[in-house]
Amino acid sequence: MPELPEVETTRKGLIPALVGETFSKVDVRSSGLRFPFPRNLSSKIQNRRVISINRRAKYLLICLEGDLVLLIHLGMSGRMRVFIKGDKIPPIDKHDHLIFRTLCGTEVRFNDARRFGALDLVSAKKLNTHPLICDLGPEPLSESFNGTLLAERIIEKKTNIKAALLDQKTIAGIGNIYACEALYYANLSPRRAAYTIQGKRADRLASSIQGVLKAAIKAGGSSLRDFRQSDGGLGYFQHQFAVYGREGELCPRCKAANHNQGCVNRTVQNGRSTFYCSCWQR
């Protein structure tokens, strides 16, 4: 389930394979995902060189010559798998929707079993006004993100903090896993009203968000059912989850304190599983 760290891991895998290379063609193997693929995608990007690969929230931005940007969202199960010339190429999977090819023989497959992914081709000038991009909140790993900014973003939110963190308009890039983990490290209850998190609490939450995202990127993201790095390898951050998916277990701090009873609870908020430790989160 790609959140910011998984998208960042994918970006890092794509850079050496694609930046500086020129697309030769795209095999379009289905009509689209969340919405139809752009018409004549292959001819539109043919013979264009990849200038850079960036990220905004959970979106990959593959910037091409001629002010074009491939905007890609991995949805729930999307993967970008790279094969360079000489690699053993596996048979095409039924969920390989797009196969990008470059002049030097590199192949990138956009595979997405659950089809919640998205791809659009947009003018670089219009990127910031694109409907998928224009309402996104601040980047949590940007220089300007801190407790003060976070507090400003949530001071009028009457919903719980967990739902506020999942709302991409509040902060961009956080999904269910990292929302749970960040709230744990900030000692904040996921049920707490968002607007009550101001001052020191907001500082704690902002730095917990940054800390957990950075640690996850360092570990190559989290692989649960779906996520793979672009070389097919697994991410490792799932082994470091403090609370996510650990219902009934001891959280790291309760373990250190030799508590003898499981402390991690699971609840459902806004239709999503939330994991939290009732001993530390208030």
Kindly list the residues in this chain that would bind DNA in the complex (CB under 7 A).
1-3, 34, 57-58, 73, 75-77, 94-95, 113-116, 132, 156-160, 163-164, 166, 168, 175-177, 194, 225, 268, 270-273
For DNA, the closer CB: 49 or 114: 114
Active site residue 143: no
Q: How far apart are CA 79 and CA 233, in angstroms?
A: 11
Of the candidates 50, 72, 44, the residue with the CA atom closest to the CA atom of residue 63? 50
11 is catalytic: no
Quote the DSSP letter at residue 170. T
Q: Alpha-carbon distance 108 to 227, whole Å?
A: 16
| 64, 49 Cβ separation under 8 angstroms | yes
Residue among 29, 44, 49, 272 flagged as catalytic = 272
**Given 55, 56, 58, 109, the catalytic residue:** 58
**237 near 251, Cβ under 8 Å?**
no
> Which helix (H) or strand (E) is 118 found in, with range?
strand 118-123
Does the annotation count 249 as an active-site position?
no
Please, which residue, 10 or 176, has the CB nearer to DNA?
176
- Give the nearest distance from C-beta 163 to DNA in angstroms: 5
| Nearer residue to DNA within complex by CB, 17 or 277 | 277
Residue 101 to residue 18: CA distance in whole angstroms: 10
- Annotated catalytic residue: which of 2, 5, 140, 190? 2
Is 56 assigned a catalytic role? no
User: 77 or 189: whose CB is closer to DNA?
Assistant: 77
Residues 32, 115, 271, CA angle at the centre, nearest 5°?
A: 135
Token pair 């650990």 is found at 246
Report the nearest approach of DNA to the CB of residue 276 (Å).
14
Alpha-carbon 49 to chain mean position: 25
Active site residues: 2-3, 58, 272
